[in-house]
Amino acid sequence: MERFEVNILGCGSAVSTTRHYLSSQVVNLREKLFMIDCGEGTQLRFRAMKLKFQRLNHIFISHLHGDHCFGLPGLISTLSMLGRTADLHIYAQADAEKIFRPVLDYFCKELSYKVIFHIYNPKKNELIFEDRTLKVSTIPLNHRTPCAGFLFEEMPKSPHIIREMIDFYQVPVSRINAIKNGADFVTPDGTVIANRIFTRPAEPPHRYAYCLDTAYYEKIIPIIEGVDLLYHEATFSHADIVRAKETYHSSARQAAQIAKAAHVKKLVIAHFSARITDESILLNEAREVFPDTILANEGLVVEVSG
Ligand SMILES: [Zn+2]
Ligand SMILES: [Zn+2]
């Protein structure tokens, strides 16, 4: 199976602590790395997880709270000192460029590569990135400041070729690509052999949703319906629901309610309040509603398809 996994770099909220770094993670899809959020400390965690800087070309920023983006200037500066030449693409809301461009212009005057900002509208569910293997779209969330999660979807894969049938009908190598793309095969005597004789359907494309920071927000349910993996914030336990509401965050129980209502396959809860010292309370609370839940942690790698 091809690699599609989430590397968790940081999963704390608001302030760095000795227990948790701030929000950042790296999605690895077939050895291409896509960073989501870049809290302070991200570049250290990136190195600690032995990820490769040269495979990182795209960074998605959910919103402009410091715990999700203060790591950007440091990371950008380090990449230049390492001699990077490839463009770096940052997907964020309009203010991000206004804020970070002057910082980069001041501190990184001789940047060895280009930083390109791509502006998205956090109020819309829209496609913001696409290549041959992946598409990424935004998930509007409900937070104190405009905020969007991200839906990562693999592109549909080509069907598998059944080698024995290719051999049996003596299909020339030059026809195999066409068969992968759905063509039938015509034998030299003019008989048409249906495509399905030569192919087995590929596994359905896998999908991953990243949803933080947000209050409990049912509008995301149709967008994330049935994803293989949901990463949802659970800043507080439900005992702190008043504070969760005031700060536009979710409780662990609410994260699980979203996971259940959206029929996701697996839930990771994250963005823990620095005041929580025993996260098993959050885990138990979530599992009562949605048993297939795990806690995020620095260094944890979660398979999207596994
Ligand atoms: Zn946050
Ligand atoms: Zn926030």
User: What stretch of H or E contains 7?
Assistant: strand 4-10
Write down the pTM of the prediction. Answer: 0.93
* Helix/strand number for the chain, H first, E second: 10, 18
Whether the per-residue pLDDT at 92 is higher than 90: the answer is yes
Which DSSP symbol is given to 145? Answer: S
Give residue 65 CA to ligand 2 midpoint distance, Å: 5
What confidence category does residue 16 fall into, taking pLDDT thresholds of 50, 70 and 90?
confident
For residues 134 and 205, the answer to whether their CB atoms sit within 8 Å is no
Token pair for 89: 């693409």
Q: Which ligand is nearest to the CA of 22?
A: 1
Ligand 2 centre to CA of 107 (Å) is 26
Ligand of minimum distance to the alpha carbon of 64: 2
Query: From edge to edge, which strands make up the β-sheet containing 229-233?
Result: 127-130, 134-140, 148-154, 207-211, 229-233, 267-270, 293-295
For residues 50-63, average pLDDT: 97
CA 210 centroid distance within chain: 6
CA 92 to chain centroid, in Å, comes to 14
* 248-253 average pLDDT score: 98
User: If you measure from the C-alpha of residue 271 to the centroid of ligand 1, how many angstroms do you get, rounded to a whole number?
Assistant: 7
* pLDDT tens column, 106-130: 998 889 999 999 999 999 999 999 9
Beta bridge partners of 90: 59, 117
Residue 68 C-alpha to ligand 1 middle, in angstroms?
Answer: 6
Q: Which of 30, 60, 73, 95 is nearest to 231 (CA)?
A: 60
pLDDT band at 102 (very low <50, low <70, confident <90, very high): very high
If you measure from the C-alpha of residue 214 to the centroid of ligand 2, how many angstroms do you get, rounded to a whole number? 8
Whose structure tokens read 């910082």?
Answer: 103
Range of weakest confidence among 4-13, 135-144, 171-180, 211-220: 171-180
Ligand 2 centroid from CA 199, angstroms: 47
Q: So which residues are the catalytic ones?
A: 67
DSSP state, residue 190: S
Confidence band for 209, pLDDT divided at 50, 70 and 90:
very high
In this structure, what token pair is assigned to residue 14?
Answer: 């608001």
Q: Are strands 56-60 and 32-38 parallel, antiparallel or unpaired?
A: parallel
Contact 37, 58 (CB under 8 A): no
| Residues having C-beta closer than 5 Å to ion ligand 2 | 65, 213
pLDDT grade for 1, boundaries at 50, 70 and 90: low
Query: Helices 252-261 & 280-289, crossing angle to 10 degrees?
Result: 30
**Mean of pLDDT over the chain:** 95
